[in-house]
Structure 1
Amino acid sequence: MLKINTMKGHERMSTQDLLLAIEEAVRSGETDFDIEASGQHDIGGPLWHPEGKPLRFHVKNAGQRVGSMALPGTEIVVEESASADVGWLNAGGIITVKGDAGDTAGHCSSGGKIFIGGRGGTRTGSLMKHDPLYEAPELWILKNVGSFSFEFMGGGRAVVCGYDSAAYESVLGARSCVGMVGGCVYVRGPIGTHPADILAEELTQADIDFLAAGMEDFLAHIEREELMEGLTKWSEWKKLRPLSPEEKKAKAKNGSDMHAFRVSEWVKGGIFADVAHDDFAVHTTVSTGLYRLRVPHWDNAKFAAPCEANCPTGIPTQLRYDLIRMGREEEAIQLELDYTPFPGSVCGSVCPNPCMDACTRGTIDEPIQIGPLGYSAAFAKVAPPKEHTGKKIAVIGGGVAGLSAAWQLARKGHGVTVYDDAEHIGGKLEQVIPRGRLSHELLESELRRIESVGVQFVSSCKVDGEKFAAIRRENDAVVVATGGTKSRFFPWEGTGHLTMGLSYLKAVNRGEKPHTGRHVVVIGAGNSGMDTCRGAYGMGAESVVAVDVQRPAAFAHEIAHFESLGGKIVWPFFTAKITSEGVYAKDGTFIPADQVIVSIGEEPEMDFLPEDEGIAFFRKSWVVPKADQSIAKGVFTAGDTIKPGRLTDAIGSGRKAAWFVHQYVMGEEVQPFPERPQIPAERLSKAYFDKWHHCAIGDPVSDHARCVSCGTCRDCKMCLESCPEKAITREEYEDGSWAYTSDPDRCIGCGICAGVCPCGVWSIEDNPEKILMYSTGSKV
């Protein structure tokens, strides 16, 4: 006998490993098994000994489907109770459960015997069947069973002894024997109601002979022989069986033709003919057209993919990959440029890529390479607008948000001028981001592309109140996107010893040599803090320590680079005092330094805005715009003037501002900014994509094969090929796009299209169409 204990310490053997171990032992000639299980499935399944010897299993703590598909010659004994599907598809095994069985015991069994020494759950004995070439299956239950028992039973014999079940109104549960067309159920105790085509009969002598012979064997298997006398009082038993085909035909002949009676003999046109339309047709569950219970919808692009929904810029990467799959790579590049002027500088270089964090593919193996894909559009050319509106728009602030708004507005044909007080346009990309993180050649190329669509740059232009008023008079609209221009800090003791991180980084990027100590402490360990630390090392610092009150928020690779330079991060560190010797924390910790730089974020300075137009502010620094991002008549805002954010947030904010500015200058009715809900994860069938593994990961463009295309049809044709009624058709248009439609006259509303669609494009819903019934024309 082979003994298997599936728990070794705290480690549990998997179901697969257990079944493989059993199969290997059987192939080696083993016949007896003592298994100390821990909920594993399918124990004692379809096995046969190479010499045809019987196989015996003694199992404790079995999981679902014990004895499923068991073959003749297999005997299984389960101590105590077992969970669902005992003897599922049993094909000849003898299965004994000494306690209760869960739901669907004996489900689909077609041979062998199943002995249950307790109760059976819901749908016990459902779909039992009998192949006349073999012995009929048997299912013996000592006590009672749950609802829907013996549903759609087609053959075999079941015995429900009703022991210890006096508290139940029916030992067969509710709605027993529904759809039963064959076999029989022997039952002792109350049976409640049952379908009209099921007969409850007294036992014949043949029935008694079968039960008497089988009861002794049954009670012996479950070790309850003492119950023999109480369970063999045959007057307490009934036999349930379905009407035979002949009996059904005879019953139909004795009845009347209901349709003829209603139309001809009762009231002409029907009893409600004066108020309702009645065609007297009988519509079954499986119907087409108006009488379908459910209807499918091809919801292509109704939902945003997780990458799009989590990209503040709003780039629909799934649509880019659709174009690439169609061989239209240049259009995919241009599509990204419809959303951002910085696919290389931001998406491909400095963005944290929240799109990749949300990527569905990341739950399978690795996210789609969205950031590198963005870089493929870095040096692409864009044609200037063919038509011009004659409208003039000023953008104050040459950073990412302002340039994003300018890019969108110029491409709509407006004349756009960007004003900035710096010598070079580009905001933080130009002035703050270290050249080691962002190629200056790439940034300059993307700035030239913005100019190529008609945007004019005015640098070294300080905008004060008077200048702002003049700009406002000369333009149809103004976008204020001056960003965060002043380093933030808290009122620590000794703030006079602080160096402002923003000013420090700007000096570094201008090629200057700002004062840098030998030993530097940087307050702030986000990405800006890491940029400052990198800059300090570049300016000759011997040691740099970054401190923060929380876990560092910088990218992992930025932290790794800083630490590779010799840097150290200390957290949690609650700054209390800065001196010429270093920094003190609230707990007394002291870090020596001859320079302390603060880099915990920036806040805007907008003293040029008018004070008499009711512009709202948050904490006297950030503006609070209206729903259309306006702060005054004809004045809109975007980016860090509203709240601090990432560069991708600034691009998205600029897009949104441009949307409303365009409507304003064109005198159009204000429409909300277009946004789509994220596709629910449960609509996606990720299993379709499991075949692609790490070995399939190549360049970003070839990732179109791995992309799940969440919410957007990838034209896989699975719905077309799977529809059982051939109700789905595919139509292709001149531009290469396509659409799938479902013919209501063929569709039965089965929902297979929605079930097989890997991208969540097809959905199925209850039929919303009302059926015209009343002659008044109203609908129900």
Structure 2
Amino acid sequence: MSQENTNVITVPGKDKDNQRISSKVFEEEVRGAAAACDRLILESFGQHNIGLRLGTKQRPVHLTVKGPVGQRLGCMGQPGATIICEGSASDDVGYLNIGADIVVKGDATNGVCNAMAAGRVMIGGSIGARGLTMTKWNPDYEKPEMWVLGSVGDTFAEFNCGGVGVICGVEPRNPENVLGYRPCVGMVGGKIFYRGQTDDTYSRTNAKLSDPTDSDWEWLIANLPGYLESIERPELLEMLSVREEWQVLDAITPQERALMFSGPMPMEEFRRRIWMQGFDGGDPLRDLAPALERSVIGVVETGDMRRKKPYWANRDSAAPCTFYCPIHIPTIDRLRLIREGRNEEAYEMLLRYTPFPASVCGTICPNLCIQNCSREKIDYSIDVSVLGRAVQRVDPPEPEPSINAKVAVIGGGPAGMAVAWHLAQHGIRADIFEQDKVLGGKLAQTIPWERLSKAVWEMEVERFLKYENIHVNLGVSLTKEKVEELKEQYDYVVIGVGAHLPKTLSFPGHEKVIPALDYLKAAKSDTPMVTGKQVVIIGAGNVGCDVAAEAYRLGAEQVTLVDIQKPLAFGKEREAAEALGATFQWPVMTQEVTDEGLITNDGTLIPAQTVIISIGDIPTLPFLPDSVEVVNVAGGSWIKSDETGRTSDEKIFAVGDVERPGLATNALGAGKRTAEFIVAEIKGEPWLPFNKRLIKYEDLTIAHYDPERDKAITEDQQAARCLSCGSCRDCHLCETICPTNAISRQEKKMGADGVDYEYVSDDNKCIACGFCADTCPCGIWVMQPF
């Protein structure tokens, strides 16, 4: 297994003796790599079940498969997984898929999409028999989709229960019959779009043929470009955009099928002649429930006769800003408090989540909250960085009284400092042991002061040290024996030393290459490294962009970042590097580094006097006790831990980059998680991890909001713009719009969230019209089965 840069791991399908490894071992290797990285290259050799149950919406995974593929590619594929097969694939691609995007750029054989329930399978060639069979569809989710560029084999869409198939008829294996023999037998749901010749043997008792309706065509033409991009055939869009060449097979409804066999008849006659006779004059529930009321339900009913009832789902779901934030900061609560004029409470609430709202959230974080803000669909996102910087001079929250407990924290970077901060808030002593002469880890050591204001950082460190229960020991080097002593002296030991060993590559001239970590640390010291006029950086991630910015500051005139794939750099770091003149080149493989510069694998020379490598760092753990297990992935060892951060040693926890590489906010989030678990265990209370689902954007009613032309620059302006996703805004719209006055606002005891009211619906008045759900701007009211 090898790692090209911080976020890409290659998993080979053969061992060191060039022998094929088993599917089971290969799957274990892939799972181990996916735990440490979200982008993988799989050099398969006929292994089965590739991509099995990998990825989530919260932690997506991207697999590129470059070798021969066995059966069941993408089996049980999960939402959040993207699986790209560069060639062809064997049987049962997408079998039992429940949400993954699966792309096969060549052909696939039999059973494609068999029993699929969600997700998309996109084939760049043709497929064999029994494609799209026994698909399932839950109406609460998107319909499963299968796209085929060429043709399909026999018994296509057999027992299809809701899947959508698109057969483009381009370069088909069977140009005379792109749908194969006897498609759609037993089909009870779904839709088939196709283009090309057929033998006209589709099951006429299960499917009906028609031209695309306007809505059919709008859907097809909207989704076709994305499919063609996925299979790398965008040049076909114009050819496939001729509406007259497409036809549609729709599933025949049960009512339509009944009329086929019985002929048109009034419903009363159908009930008397067919329905009642079928159950011997009764109905299917007569024997089980003889007293069941069987009268016709009226047009408008209340109470128990409703099909659904409204539910005030206040705060049941998380807003995107909270869901995607690694610390899960409830930004909507902060903005609600600001709207109510309770700014001090808003600041205190924020500081209970993070010790660094100004330096991290307000400056260096890529702000996943902003990137996913629902307000972006109206005009532009809430600027959370403005809110973070407003808290830089605020005192820390009042801590709880001290209790008889203490924790040793090894490492004074963002993860370790977060642990200490949250423990101290709960009255637990935290002793930090840091090898460096200053706190902050890579935040203080490597991030250019041009991006992270030194004054702001020092102000927040000063606030951090105001807690009496935080004790800092600098310049401390630990050994296994010393850690064992800490275990005896403290209730728990938390390891958060980060990853400070630069990764390198072996190629001719590698000794001439400077590790990015060393370069950045020197750049922030009094003795920066000598930098040539031309600089090449191997690895075009965000750290590489920081290196580029420092190189320009230290005298470089031309900086080139190279990578083997599309650069992963994004956000502020990339914008800053490009603004200074940095350029990106990919795909580039390094063949050699000489005094003249970097030579690529095709022999091209990129001139440089300074070459820096930025492909990630790994932890160094010489002090780690033997009782703590590690996971070896891509040439590095990471500490193995559970969802709380606890290791195989019950008294030792791991947080931050020693668990897995991530952002500074990931480290802060891990520190908060582990500290809260330790607090709960010490106090004998249950630990409550963040487990809310993401609110659906479709549940919001954004029609109530007007786009804004001018940028909001103050806290109050930002607070007013917030859509308050999933959290009641107390706007009374539901109460006002209810046609039967069933909804009312009631006072209640103040909750932990600071809310002292609720809206309730009177079952005796509610007619389940759904107006409350349709108008709620925050997605609070939902209609549920009664």
TM-score, length basis structure 1:
0.62
Q: Percent identity?
A: 36
1:761 to 2:776 alignment: no
Could you say what secondary structure the match of 2:318 adopts? coil
Greater mean alpha carbon deviation, residues 528-537 or residues 352-361: 528-537
Greater mean alpha carbon deviation, residues 303-312 or residues 453-462: 453-462
Any conservation in 1 of the 2:352–2:397 contact (CA below 8 Å)? no
Q: 1:524 aligns with which of 539, 564, 568?
A: 539
Per-residue CA deviations over 1:430-488 (Å, capped at 9, x if unaligned) read: 11110000111111111122222232221111122222222222110011111111111
1:625 to 2:641 alignment: yes
Inter-CA distance 597–84: structure 2 relative to 1 (3 Å threshold): closer
Greater mean alpha carbon deviation, residues 720-729 or residues 569-578: 569-578
- What is the CA–CA distance in structure 2 between the aligned matches of 1:82 and 1:665, rounded to whole Å? 64
1:663 to 2:663 alignment: no
Q: 1:535 aligns with which of 547, 550, 554?
A: 550
Write out aligned runs for 1:138-537 (5 A).
Answer: 192-194=264-266, 284-453=298-467, 454-537=469-552
Inter-CA distance 713–505: structure 2 relative to 1 (3 Å threshold): same
Name the aligned partner's letter for residue 552 of structure 1.
Answer: P
Q: What displacement does 1:426 show?
A: 0.7
Q: 1:596 aligns with which of 600, 604, 611?
A: 611
Q: 1:740 aligns with which of 751, 756, 759?
A: 759
Any conservation in 2 of the 1:370–1:700 contact (CA below 8 Å)? no
1:722 to 2:737 alignment: yes
Could you say what secondary structure the match of 1:630 adopts? coil
Write out aligned runs for 1:18-37 (5 A).
Answer: none
Q: 1:683 aligns with which of 699, 719, 742?
A: 699
- What is the CA–CA distance in structure 1 between the aligned matches of 2:341 and 2:304, rounded to whole Å? 40
Could you say what secondary structure the match of 1:621 adopts? strand
Per the alignment, residue 228 of structure 1 pairs with none
Inter-CA distance 763–517: structure 2 relative to 1 (3 Å threshold): same
Per-residue CA deviations over 1:477-501 (Å, capped at 9, x if unaligned) read: 0111111111112222322112121
Could you say what secondary structure the match of 1:544 adopts? strand
Per the alignment, residue 162 of structure 2 pairs with none
Could you say what secondary structure the match of 2:693 adopts? coil
Inter-CA distance 307–613: structure 2 relative to 1 (3 Å threshold): closer
- What is the CA–CA distance in structure 1 between the aligned matches of 2:690 and 2:268, rounded to whole Å? 58
Per the alignment, residue 768 of structure 2 pairs with 749
Per-residue CA deviations over 1:60-115 (Å, capped at 9, x if unaligned) read: xxxxxxxxxxxxxxxxxxxxx99899xxxxxxxxxxxxxxxxxxxxxxxxxxxxxx
The count of residues paired between Structure 1 and Structure 2 equals 518
Could you say what secondary structure the match of 1:387 adopts? coil
- What is the CA–CA distance in structure 1 between the aligned matches of 2:437 and 2:781, rounded to whole Å? 54
1:647 to 2:664 alignment: yes
- What is the CA–CA distance in structure 2 between the aligned matches of 1:515 and 1:437, rounded to whole Å? 21
Per the alignment, residue 119 of structure 1 pairs with none
Q: What displacement does 1:730 show?
A: 0.7
**Aligned Cα RMSD in Å?**
3.3
Any conservation in 2 of the 1:622–1:641 contact (CA below 8 Å)? yes
Any conservation in 2 of the 1:366–1:694 contact (CA below 8 Å)? no
- What is the CA–CA distance in structure 1 between the aligned matches of 2:348 and 2:759, rounded to whole Å? 26
Name the aligned partner's letter for residue 477 of structure 2.
Answer: K
Per the alignment, residue 702 of structure 1 pairs with 717
Name the aligned partner's letter for residue 421 of structure 2.
Answer: W
TM-score, length basis structure 2:
0.61
Larger Rg computed on CA atoms: 1
Q: What displacement does 1:311 show?
A: 1.2
Any conservation in 2 of the 1:524–1:600 contact (CA below 8 Å)? yes
Inter-CA distance 323–672: structure 2 relative to 1 (3 Å threshold): closer
Greater mean alpha carbon deviation, residues 304-313 or residues 530-539: 530-539
Could you say what secondary structure the match of 2:346 adopts? helix
Q: What displacement does 1:608 show?
A: 0.6
Per the alignment, residue 622 of structure 2 pairs with 607
Inter-CA distance 701–428: structure 2 relative to 1 (3 Å threshold): farther
Q: 1:584 aligns with which of 594, 599, 619?
A: 599
- What is the CA–CA distance in structure 1 between the aligned matches of 2:214 and 2:530, rounded to whole Å? 74
Per the alignment, residue 202 of structure 1 pairs with none
Per the alignment, residue 155 of structure 2 pairs with none
Inter-CA distance 700–527: structure 2 relative to 1 (3 Å threshold): farther
Could you say what secondary structure the match of 2:653 adopts? strand
Name the aligned partner's letter for residue 392 of structure 2.
Answer: A
Greater mean alpha carbon deviation, residues 351-360 or residues 577-586: 577-586
Greater mean alpha carbon deviation, residues 725-734 or residues 277-286: 277-286
Per the alignment, residue 652 of structure 2 pairs with 635
Name the aligned partner's letter for residue 764 of structure 2.
Answer: D
Per the alignment, residue 572 of structure 1 pairs with 587
Q: What stretches of structure 1 of length at least 5 have no aligned partner?
A: 1-80, 86-145, 150-167, 175-189, 198-271, 768-780
Q: What displacement does 1:621 show?
A: 1.5
Any conservation in 2 of the 1:294–1:750 contact (CA below 8 Å)? no
- What is the CA–CA distance in structure 1 between the aligned matches of 2:379 and 2:293, rounded to whole Å? 57
- What is the CA–CA distance in structure 2 between the aligned matches of 1:303 and 1:734, rounded to whole Å? 21
Per the alignment, residue 545 of structure 1 pairs with 560
Any conservation in 2 of the 1:373–1:701 contact (CA below 8 Å)? no
Inter-CA distance 557–408: structure 2 relative to 1 (3 Å threshold): closer
Name the aligned partner's letter for residue 492 of structure 1.
Answer: F
Any conservation in 1 of the 2:411–2:496 contact (CA below 8 Å)? yes
Could you say what secondary structure the match of 2:722 adopts? coil
Could you say what secondary structure the match of 1:653 adopts? helix
Per the alignment, residue 156 of structure 1 pairs with none
Q: What displacement does 1:336 show?
A: 1.6
Q: What stretches of structure 2 of length at least 5 have no aligned partner?
A: 1-210, 216-251, 270-285
Any conservation in 2 of the 1:323–1:331 contact (CA below 8 Å)? yes
- What is the CA–CA distance in structure 2 between the aligned matches of 1:624 and 1:338, rounded to whole Å? 28
- What is the CA–CA distance in structure 2 between the aligned matches of 1:543 and 1:728, rounded to whole Å? 66
Inter-CA distance 557–411: structure 2 relative to 1 (3 Å threshold): closer
Q: What displacement does 1:699 show?
A: 2.6
